[in-house]
Amino acid sequence: MNEQQQIEALRRELEQHNYNYYVLSSPTITDKEFDDMMHRLQELEAAHPECYDPNSPTQRVGSDLTKEFAQVEHRYPMLSLANTYSEAEVRDWYERVRKGLNESFDVVCELKYDGTSISLWYEQGKLLRAVTRGDGVKGDDVTANVKTIRSIPLRLQGDYPLQVEIRGEVLMPWAVFEALNKEREAQEEPLFANPRNAASGTIKLQNPALVAERNLDAYLYYVLGENLPSDLHSENLMAARSWGIKVSENFRVCHSVDEIMEYIAYWDAERKNLPVATDGIVLKVNSLRQQRTLGLTAKSPRWAIAYKFQAEQACTRLNSVSYQVGRTGAVTPVANLDPVQLSGTVVKRASLHNADIIASLDLHIGDMVYVEKGGEIIPKITGVDKDARLLIGDKVTFIKKCPECGAELIRYEGEAAHYCPNEAACPPQIKGKIEHFVARKAMDIDGLGTETIALLYENGLLHNMADIYDLKVPDLARLERLGLKSAQNIKRACEASRNVPFERVLFALGIRFVGETTAKKIAYALHDIDRIMSATVEELMTVDEVGERIARSVVEYFSQPVNREIVERLRAYGLQMALSEEKLASRTEKLQGLSIVISGTFALHSREEYKEMIERNGGKNVGSVSSKTDYILAGENMGPAKLEKAQKLGVKIIDEQQFLQMLEE
């Protein structure tokens, strides 16, 4: 077998194993065996670029070559369905269908998955394009991102039509959603309200590699095309399953309205045991011929309707309100409730968000409150049963002092949250800052998770982030749950972190309002920690995207002797406290004062590399076209909206070669 044949054989094998694992949930090889095969295929493809195939299993991992999403017109409009929350209206719809057809008919009942709609175009068995619903007429081409979803086949198998469109829903499973929110909560980033928002946001990310990390799933439920296997929607779904498409096993062909009601009643309860979110039932006339007879209204098909489950709500007693303090000092009120069953889980606590929410609800201890789950995962109080007020306690008012350290709380102008200003001595803030410091995007010190940091803090080994570099292997090894090997790994990770570049060290300090991007901009503008520590508010505000709030926060941070002491200790431990000579030497002012928009797909460098080149040469990256834009760096598939606006405003458009030429001159 020559190497090209080996490549083709490996691709077929890996596609089959993907199908076994992600669609059938029946893997036949170990993860390591799969990874070894994938690695072998990557090596062969690298050695034989002439065998490149955009639908190879190796293309699922995504790359950082990002692009604007091109708008694509749907071959068949993606219409929305008429919704109802009433079983009586389902019966009315069934009766309208019966009268409209005047012949016997069946209805296919399917679970209504709560994700983001997608249309997959296959030609000659290969995935050609993946398009979001958009406005129903046109959607965004998100093919590169969809290719990272392993339950979506890149090639069909068996006896498939030469051209076919398959529609469905891209979903984030509950387990992935909860892990993602836990990670975001640890970083004090805003939580996703529900898996639908998380899936929708993920599929529109500009970085396919990040999409791949999110582990999205998909269920497909509609087959369109000129040469379909059957006139029956249910049989076309079965055929699609034979082509390798992930079709839910939970659809049912119903022969009467009573069978439909049985299906609805069953899944109203059973759906809570599914690994993905659902919010209702979709009913479709089974025969495609009968669908055409019934036709469409201006907004939706007459042959289908969506029954939405009622949002599950419970009424329970408010027993107390407690307060949690985060890394930045933000104080979050939490309602403590009598346990109540809601959406398959027992709810005992619900977030009250901030003082304004508490005031708007007019809460009193002992109130009977209505609790819902936003997206059926995050409990929230939606109201108070004021008629049930008999023996209520005190009115709930937001605390004035930190529950952890007793410091007087402050509230910044224009912000809803209250903050504890005692950064240096408030335990949750100290532990939170250390967790932020060791995070992957900061110093990337593996082995120091939340529980380990808490253990070290409680044992007096950690008081601030600088203490990390004083940790001794014997001290770590004697602690419960660690041991010698874990202690040695932590120490090695600490040593390796000395090579983390300065802009990430600045981000790792955890200065309020200074995120990853802002830290990079400040580092590139001022070059070293000493200039940053001595900078005034006015000097910092000259840095791109640094406003007064961020500038004042930086000045305030470095005005604290304890923070300056931490920086000096970190410097003494050998952390990078200035931009590298290489980065400084490569900086120029060739693009000084120029605002540049990047749009499209590039062949020579990734989007992130071009952004860094612009910043390194004194230019400014901007996200949207305006009269202040000097250039658009355009690749393939430039966003049509940007192109139209650029032409209207007379903004000069340059390609990769012209841009690189500008830097060489």
How is 90-120 classified by DSSP, letter by letter? HHHHHHHHHHHH-S---EEEEEEE-SEEEEE
Q: What letter does residue 379 receive in the DSSP assignment?
A: E
Return d(Cα 497, Cα 207) in angstroms, integer: 26
Burial degree of 335 (CB within 10 A; 0-12, 13-18, 19+): buried
Q: Which CATH architecture has domain 587-664?
A: 3-Layer(aba) Sandwich (3.40)
Q: What is the pLDDT of residues 129-163, one digit of tens each?
A: 999 988 788 888 899 899 999 899 999 999 999 99
User: Model confidence at 553, in pLDDT bands (50, 70, 90)?
Assistant: very high
Question: pLDDT at residue 62 above 50?
Answer: no
Instruction: Provide the pLDDT for residue 32.
Output: 61
Question: Above 90 in pLDDT, residue 635?
Answer: no
Residue 574 vs residues 301, 444, 496, 524: alpha-carbon distances, Å: 67, 16, 11, 20
Q: What is the pLDDT of residue 26?
A: 65
pLDDT value, residue 187: 63
pLDDT for the residue numbered 169: 94
Helix axes 257-270, 87-101, angle to 10 degrees: 150
Distance, in Å, from the CA atom of 637 to the CA atom of 371, rounded to the nearest integer, reads: 47
Which of 74-78, 158-162, 529-533 bottoms out in mean pLDDT, i.e. has the lowest? Answer: 74-78
pLDDT at 113 over 80: yes
**Rounded to whole angstroms, how far apart are CA atoms 652 and 664?**
19
If residue 348 lies in a helix (H) or strand (E), which one and from where to where? strand 345-351
Exposure pattern of 516-539 as b/e (b: 16+ CB <10 Å)? eebbbbbbbbbbebeebbebeeeb
Q: Domain spanning 312-421 has what CATH number?
A: 2.40.50.140
Structure tokens at 480: 């419960």
Just give the CATH number of 502-584.
1.10.150.20
Range of lowest pLDDT (51-60, 99-108, 139-148, 315-324) = 51-60
- pLDDT tens, 362-374? 999 999 999 987 5
Fold of 427-499: DNA polymerase; domain 1 (1.10.150)
Q: Helix, strand, coil % (nearest 5) of the chain?
A: 40, 20, 40
Residue from 32, 67, 99, 112 carrying the catalytic annotation:
112
Helices vs strands, H then E, count in the chain:
25, 21
Q: Which residues pair with 116 in a beta bridge?
A: 170
Give the model's confidence band at 415: pLDDT under 50 very low, under 70 low, under 90 confident, else very high. Answer: confident
CATH homologous superfamily of 3-61 equals Helix hairpin bin (1.10.287.610)
Residue range 2-28, pLDDT digits in tens: 888 888 888 888 888 777 765 565 667
% of the chain exceeding 70 in pLDDT: 93
**Catalytic residue flag (residue 112):** yes
Spatial distance between the Cα atoms of 166 and 246, rounded to a whole number of angstroms: 11
Contact indicator for 194, 277 with CB cutoff of 8 Å: yes
pLDDT tens-digit profile of 384-412? 998 888 878 899 999 999 999 999 999 98
Distance CA 594, CA 245 (A): 49
For position 298, what pLDDT does the model report?
A: 66
Q: For strands 595-599 and 631-634, give the pairing.
A: parallel
CATH number of 73-308: 3.30.470.30
Is residue 67 pLDDT above 50, yes or no? no
Which pLDDT tens digit goes with each residue over 323-362? 999 888 889 999 999 998 776 567 888 888 889 889 899 9
DSSP at 194:
S
Highest mean pLDDT among 136-140, 597-601, 620-624, 658-662: 658-662
Same fold, 427-499 and 502-584: yes
What distance in Å separates the CA atoms of residue 165 and residue 327, rounded to the nearest whole number?
Answer: 48
Evaluate if residue 190 carries a pLDDT over 80: no
* Packing angle, helices 3-22 and 31-47, rounded to 10: 150
104: CB partners within 8 A, 6+ apart: none
Burial of 220: CB neighbours in 10 Å, binned 0-12, 13-18, 19+: buried
- Is residue 522 within 8 A of residue 479, CB to CB? The reply is no
The mean of the pLDDT values for the chain is: 87
Angle between helices 607-616 and 656-664 (to 10 degrees): 30
| Complete DSSP assignment for 613-656 | HHHHTT-EEESS--TT--EEEE-BT--HHHHHHHHHHT-EEE-H
Provide the residue ranges of all domains of the chain, joining segments of one domain with +.
3-61, 73-308, 312-421, 427-499, 502-584, 587-664
